[in-house]
Chain A
Amino acid sequence: KQEVTQIPAALSVPEGENLVLNCSFTDSAIYNLQWFRQDPGKGLTSLLLIQSSQREQTSGRLNASLDKSSGRSTLYIAASQPGDSATYLCACQGGSEKLVFGKGTKLTVNP
C-alpha cells in the first residue's frame, strides 16, 4: 500500500529565500507525481505534474524533481514571496488513477 510522507509539516521562512519541500513515497510503481497548492479552506490548484519517466518539471519559480528509485520528490521554490504562503501537497498516482496524498507542508513566507 502506497504511503506518502511530507516533511516538514510546517515551514516558516523570510521573503526572498529559496526553499525545498520534500515528499517521499514507499512504492516506486507510480505513473506520475503531482504537486498541489491549497489555500486555507479552498480547493487544490495543480502546480506541477511529473511523469514517471521524467526527472523534473519547471514552471516559473517552481521546480519539481522526481527520483523513483529512492522514492523521493522535491519541490523547489525560488525567491519566495508572501503570496506563496499555502499548504503544499504531493500526490502519487498509481493504478486506477487514484491519487495517494501526503499530509502536506504548511508554508509561511514572512514579509
Chain B
Amino acid sequence: EAQVTQNPRYLITVTGKKLTVTCSQNMNHEYMSWYRQDPGLGLRQIYYSMNVEVTDKGDVPEGYKVSRKEKRNFPLILESPSPNQTSLYFCATTGGRGYNEQFFGPGTRLTVL
C-alpha cells in the first residue's frame, strides 16, 4: 500500500529545544516536500526536495532545516523552535514531472510553548 508516514503525530515542546519530524514514503518518489497549515493562512510550502541531496526553500523556510540523504526519507528539523512554529505540518510526495498526483502524510500537530 502506498504510504506517507510522519512521526510523531503530536508533539508538545518548549522554546529552543531542537526537534525532528520524520517523513517516509514507500512509493520510490523523487519529489518530497513539507507544508505547514495555519488557520486563516492555509497551507504553505516550507521546503522541498527534487531528489537525494537536492533541497530548496519554499515560501516559509525561516526557522527550519531539511535533509535528503535517502530517497524515502525527508526529515524536517527545527533547531530552535519558537511559539510561532506551532502549526500542523504535512509531508507530501509525488512522482514528479508535473503531471502526477501528490500524496500527503497524516500530519504532525506541533505545539511550542
B45 shortest CB reach to chain A, Å: 5
CA distance A104 to B105 in the complex (A): 18
A101 within 8 A of B: yes
Contact A101 B103 (CB under 8 A): no
Main secondary structure of the interface of B (DSSP, over half): strand
Cβ–Cβ < 8 Å partners of A93 in chain B? 98, 102
B92 within 8 A of A: yes
A44 within 8 A of B: yes
Cβ–Cβ < 8 Å partners of B45 in chain A? 98-99
CA distance A97 to B30 in the complex (A): 11
Known A96-B56, A101-B43; judge A43-B107 contact (CB<8 A).
Answer: yes
Cβ–Cβ < 8 Å partners of B48 in chain A? 96-98
Contact B109 A41 (CB under 8 A): yes
B61 within 8 A of A: no
Contact A49 B90 (CB under 8 A): no
- The 7 A-B pairs with the shortest beta carbon distances in the complex, nearest first, are A31-B98, A44-B104, A101-B43, A43-B106, A103-B42, A49-B101, A43-B107
Given contacts A42-B107, A99-B35, 7 further A-B contacts (CB under 8 A): A43-B104, A43-B106, A46-B101, A46-B103, A98-B48, A102-B42, A103-B41
CA distance A63 to B94 in the complex (A): 23
CA distance A101 to B98 in the complex (A): 16
23 contacts between A and B (CB under 8 A): A31-B99, A32-B98, A34-B101, A41-B109, A43-B105, A46-B101, A46-B103, A46-B104, A49-B100, A89-B43, A91-B43, A91-B102, A95-B98, A96-B56, A97-B33, A97-B98, A98-B48, A99-B45, A99-B92, A101-B43, A102-B42, A103-B41, A103-B42
